[in-house]
Structure 1
Amino acid sequence: MNAYALLGIAIVLELFSTSMMKASEGFTKLIPSIVFIGGMGSSFYLMSQALTTIPLSIAYAIWSGVGTSLTTLIGILVWKEQLNIYSGIGIVLIVIGVVLLNLKASGH
């Protein structure tokens, strides 16, 4: 499978798992806690497979940038968290950083 597809699936699993961590309420609810552990384990496995092809700096920049941005969006839409101007600017800067890293990436 394409390494970027593996990375994409890893990111989706990480996003879902992060929501399960929130839903576990401090690991006091069994099912969300189990889903979190399985999802994160699967996510890290797929990330490790993607790293056999994608350079670490690029993969991690994409992982963290997309993960942070979409986690913020999930927090707003699902968990009814508030976005302030500083959070919004921070997300924009993260996205810009990921784009800049990918523009001059070696090893693609």
Structure 2
Amino acid sequence: MELPVIGTNWSGQTDFMNESNSYLIDVKALVRISDNENPLFNGHYWAEPSVKDLRKKMRQVLERPDAAKGKARQARKDLLETYDPKAISKQVIAEIEKYRIGR
């Protein structure tokens, strides 16, 4: 979509979000989950984002629209290259091949 993305610098999204293609918010603290409605989350951690850093990143997007557009274009390029169906199918095949009998 080539839109600027702001997200917390923690967990799964950092597999595809980085400083060159996104605005990553600093983590203020990690909060242990103890009483979640889904018990599978208990014992894990949530990242508490820094509100101060979020404000800073939002200001950057607003005050520097050309730079924000550049990051957004880079994000699209990165995602199209990394998650192209051919690239993904190669990764899946490589993982399946690890378990092929008679290798």
Same fold (TM over 0.5): no
TM-score by length of 1: 0.30
TM-score by length of 2: 0.32
Q: Which has the larger radius of gyration?
A: 2
Judging by fraction of residues, say which structure has more strand.
2
